[in-house]
């Protein structure tokens, strides 16, 4: 039979997504690797260390049991939710009802991306900080929301200017993500108090993404928005096992907070997925019991790498304020470059270093480049040596 050209087109909602700006860099990176060049990849936000052994053991054991081979459905194992509640109370001093205020997710990205479908109607306004984790923008587009960009400025420590939030009329919800990807900024409890007061007065739903809650430096623990009195009336917070326990590939996280928002998310999800593999839920229960000293070791390791990169770059004349949390260095591009894309391309071509152009996270990210510290210290030191020759 002759092939027929059916001219299949993507949907309007798919076509409306912003262009994927990393395509060119990705292509160049693959070509460089294929050519045998020694690439130092400071582009991907994915821990290089393996998942701790006790978590792998829990998965192995649970995978053997046929009882875990079925659809897990909905809210999953009650024990996972009670253990999350216990962990949350210990870490943030906030009590959560395991049955109505906690919901497990197939990774926090999944929940973040599905929630808008459950709460916004086409045309409703959503406040999005810029730069931001790209999945937010896509999911608002899918749900038909109208994005109001709120720039995060270095002069304002990369937290939103709340005076501007007060001026925005009829916003349905707003994202906050601290520790922040890509800027690594953190937020204080005072900031959350002000934000919650404004959101309550204006009826704005708050979505807090705390994927990096446990990756912090210098002993300063990032607070949860749910620590603020009254936050539970309007806020939902997303947490992840990915970054804390080196479990990015396992796909498990949770949402917690306002029960109506949790119910909306649960209803959307029940139409998309059928729960999280129970053996992975059991492994997550083991993860929550990780020796706190192991997490201290992980933070110390990232802190050493951070200092190696920041001090190294300073020694070659590139001064960047050290991040307080997460595993990103968000750096103003050197003066010899015009924009972030040109910088990223030059790094790859001249130094075999992959870094992410800031503009890929939103217009306000232009002028910056993101480098991750998810590679060993000797590779970071080598990256600095290579950069010395071009800067
Ligand atoms: C890594 C990341 C996530 C996604 O985490 P998963 O639980 O692996 O889906 C969510 N938000 C931000 C800002 C991230 O960087």
- The full set of domains in the chain, from first to last, is 17-46+293-390 (3.90.1150.10), 53-288 (3.40.640.10)
How confident is the model over 6-25, as a mean pLDDT?
Answer: 84
Atom 1 (ligand 1) nearest CA: 211
Atom 15 (ligand 1) nearest CA: 181
* Pocket of ligand 1, beta carbon within 6 A: 45, 107-109, 133, 177, 181, 209, 211, 240, 242, 248, 253
How confident is the model over 28-57, as a mean pLDDT?
Answer: 94
Helices 23-34 and 340-351 cross at an angle (nearest 10°) of 0
Q: How far is ligand 1, taken at its centre, from the CA of residue 109, in Å?
A: 5
Rounded Cα–Cα distance for residues 380 and 267 (Å):
45
Q: How far is ligand 1, taken at its centre, from the CA of residue 46, in Å?
A: 10
Kindly report, residue by residue over 237-262, the tens digit of the pLDDT: 999 999 999 999 999 999 999 999 99
**Which atom from ligand 1 is nearest to the alpha carbon of 112?**
10
Compute CA 199 distance to the chain's CA centroid, rounded to the nearest angstrom. Answer: 22
Q: In the predicted model, is pLDDT for residue 19 greater than 80? A: no
Mutate to test the pocket of ligand 1, among 152, 240, 245 (most ligand atoms within 8 A of CB): 240
* 26 band by pLDDT with thresholds 50, 70 and 90: confident
Kindly report, residue by residue over 201-237, the tens digit of the pLDDT: 999 999 999 999 999 999 999 999 999 999 999 999 9
The side-by-side arrangement of strands in the sheet containing 328-332 is: 328-332, 368-372, 356-357
* 2 band by pLDDT with thresholds 50, 70 and 90: low
Q: What is the CA radius of gyration of the chain?
A: 21
Q: In the predicted model, is pLDDT for residue 1 greater than 80? A: no
Kindly report, residue by residue over 157-169, the tens digit of the pLDDT: 999 999 999 999 9
Q: How far is ligand 1, taken at its centre, from the CA of residue 192, in Å?
A: 21
- How long, in residues, is the chain? 391
pLDDT of 132 reads 96
In the chain, which ranges are E strands? Answer: 40-41, 102-105, 125-130, 146-151, 171-176, 205-209, 235-240, 253-257, 328-332, 353-354, 356-357, 368-372
Atom 4 (ligand 1) nearest CA: 109
- Using a 10 angstrom Cβ sphere, with 0-12 exposed, 13-18 middle and 19 or more buried, the burial of residue 297 is exposed
**Structure tokens given for 109:** 């990205």
**Which atom from ligand 1 is nearest to the alpha carbon of 247?**
8
pLDDT of 381 reads 97
How confident is the model over 76-101, as a mean pLDDT?
Answer: 98
**Structure tokens given for 316:** 């070659």
**Structure tokens given for 355:** 């870094």
């Amino acid at each position: 039979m002759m092939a027929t050209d059916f001219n299949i087109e993507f949907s309007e909602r798919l076509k409306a997504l912003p262009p994927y700006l990393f395509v060119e860099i990705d292509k160049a990176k693959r070509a460089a690797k294929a050519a045998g060049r020694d690439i130092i990849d400071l582009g991907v936000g994915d821990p290089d260390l393996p998942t701790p052994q006790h978590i792998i053991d829990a998965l192995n054991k649970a995978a053997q049991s046929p009882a875990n081979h079925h659809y897990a459905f909905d809210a999953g194992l009650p024990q996972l939710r009670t253990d999350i509640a216990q962990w949350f109370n210990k870490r943030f001093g906030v009590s959560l009802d395991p049955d109505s205020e906690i919901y497990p997710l197939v990774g926090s990205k999944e929940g973040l991306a599905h929630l808008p479908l459950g709460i916004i109607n086409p045309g409703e306004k959503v406040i999005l900080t810029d730069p931001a984790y790209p999945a937010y923008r896509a999911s608002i587009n899918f749900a038909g929301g109208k994005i109001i960009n709120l720039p995060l400025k270095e002069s304002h420590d990369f937290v939103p200017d709340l005076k501007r939030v007060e001026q925005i009329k009829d916003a349905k919800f707003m994202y906050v993500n601290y520790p922040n990807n890509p800027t690594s900024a953190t937020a204080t409890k005072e900031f959350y108090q002000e934000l919650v007061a404004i959101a309550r007065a204006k009826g704005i739903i708050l979505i807090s993404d705390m994927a990096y809650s446990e990756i912090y430096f210098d002993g300063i623990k990032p607070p949860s928005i749910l620590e603020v009195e009254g936050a539970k009336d309007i806020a939902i917070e997303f947490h992840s096992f990915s970054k804390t326990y080196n479990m990015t590939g396992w796909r498990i996280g949770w949402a917690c907070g306002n029960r109506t928002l949790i119910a909306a998310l649960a209803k959307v999800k029940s139409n998309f997925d059928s729960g999280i593999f129970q053996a992975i839920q059991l492994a997550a229960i083991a993860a929550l019991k990780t020796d706190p000293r192991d997490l201290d070791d992980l933070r110390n390791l990232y802190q050493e790498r951070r200092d190696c990169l920041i001090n190294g770059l300073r020694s070659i004349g590139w001064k960047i304020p050290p991040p307080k949390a997460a595993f990103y260095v968000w750096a103003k591009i050197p003066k010899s470059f015009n924009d972030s894309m040109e910088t990223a391309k030059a790094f790859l071509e001249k130094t075999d270093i992959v870094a992410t152009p800031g503009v890929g996270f939103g217009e306000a990210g232009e002028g910056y480049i993101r480098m991750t510290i998810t590679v060993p210290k000797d590779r970071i030191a080598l990256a600095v040596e290579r950069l010395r020759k071009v800067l």
